[in-house]
Copies of this chain bind each other. A is one copy, B any other.
Amino acid sequence: MTPSGVTSADGSGLPSQPLIAVDVVPMRWSAEGLAVGVARREFEPFAGRFALPGVLLGAGESLDDAAARALRTKAGIGRERVRHRFQIGAFDGPDRDPRRHAISIASAAVIDPAAEPATDDLRWEPVTEVPSLPFDHDLLVAETVRQLRTRLWHDDAVTRALTGPRFSTPDAVRLTAAVTGEEVHQSNLRRSLAAHAGLSSAPAPESAGRGRRPLVWAWSD
């Protein structure tokens, strides 16, 4: 931002700075549960292994664009399938890249689970059994889940992205259990949904199973 002893700075001479990676933690909620998207790495290091999608930040590129590029080029996930994205922090653990010092600006992205191609190069791992990942990606996943826990039902944008536009009461119970790890009483959760401004309940659209038809909730606007 200002010339200093450490950099040559100022546009003309290229400053000598660490690599900046933009990593994304793709999250998906579906009937199969809460899952993390990992993609097979094409290049070294760790070529062939699965890891979170990430790219090096380009000159003039915004964080948002870089995250979208990571999802598209590394995981084949287009922007239209990203329901919401939020930053989880900047990480600079010394061992995060074996090649050289690098800093990661990481974010979580909630992905629309509809019409998943399920290629050989993108796997959705259940959040409870994510295999060990290279770099510091285990840490990024843990931090993402921690933040989801605090934001679910408190941050509308995140919650709406996870549920999708419509969801039933038992869906909400399952989602809460998957995110927090704790069972919630359906009756109490239902009450808080009814109290939630921004949610409206449709009566009961179609039959789904044996018992009584659940209420279906829709986000207003």
Residues of A that sit less than 8 Å from B by CB: 1-4, 6-7, 9-11, 14-21, 23, 41-44, 54-64, 69, 73-74, 87, 89-90, 92, 94, 97, 99-105, 135
Query: What distance in Å separates the Cβ of A64 from its nearest Cβ neighbour in chain B?
Result: 8
**How far apart sit A97 and B89, CA to CA, in the bound complex (Å)?**
21
**How far apart sit A58 and B216, CA to CA, in the bound complex (Å)?**
53
Is A92 in contact with B54, judged by CB distance below 8 angstroms? no
Is B73 in contact with A92, judged by CB distance below 8 angstroms? no
**How far apart sit A69 and B87, CA to CA, in the bound complex (Å)?**
25
Is A2 in contact with B54, judged by CB distance below 8 angstroms? yes
Query: What distance in Å separates the Cβ of A148 from its nearest Cβ neighbour in chain B?
Result: 17
Task: List chain B residues, Cβ under 8 A from A18.
Answer: 20, 57-61
**How far apart sit A87 and B92, CA to CA, in the bound complex (Å)?**
12
- Nearest chain B residue, comparing its CB with the CB of A41: B2
Number of chain copies forming the complex: 2
Task: List chain B residues, Cβ under 8 A from A56.
Answer: 1-2, 4, 6-7, 9, 15, 17
Is A59 in contact with B101, judged by CB distance below 8 angstroms? yes
Interface residues of chain A: helix, strand, loop or mixed (majority): loop
Task: List chain B residues, Cβ under 8 A from A104.
Answer: 1
Query: What distance in Å separates the Cβ of A219 from its nearest Cβ neighbour in chain B?
Result: 25
Is B87 in contact with A42, judged by CB distance below 8 angstroms? no
Take A1-B55, A16-B58, A103-B20 as given contacts and tell me if A90 and B92 are in contact as well, using a CB distance cutoff of 8 Å: no
Query: What distance in Å separates the Cβ of A157 from its nearest Cβ neighbour in chain B?
Result: 16
- Nearest chain B residue, comparing its CB with the CB of A99: B11
Is A19 in contact with B23, judged by CB distance below 8 angstroms? no
Take A20-B17, A103-B63 as given contacts and tell me if A4 and B55 are in contact as well, using a CB distance cutoff of 8 Å: yes
**How far apart sit A20 and B62, CA to CA, in the bound complex (Å)?**
12
**How far apart sit A136 and B23, CA to CA, in the bound complex (Å)?**
24
Take A99-B10, A100-B11, A105-B90 as given contacts and tell me if A59 and B17 are in contact as well, using a CB distance cutoff of 8 Å: yes
**How far apart sit A200 and B111, CA to CA, in the bound complex (Å)?**
47
Task: List chain B residues, Cβ under 8 A from A43.
Answer: 2-3
Query: What distance in Å separates the Cβ of A15 from its nearest Cβ neighbour in chain B?
Result: 6
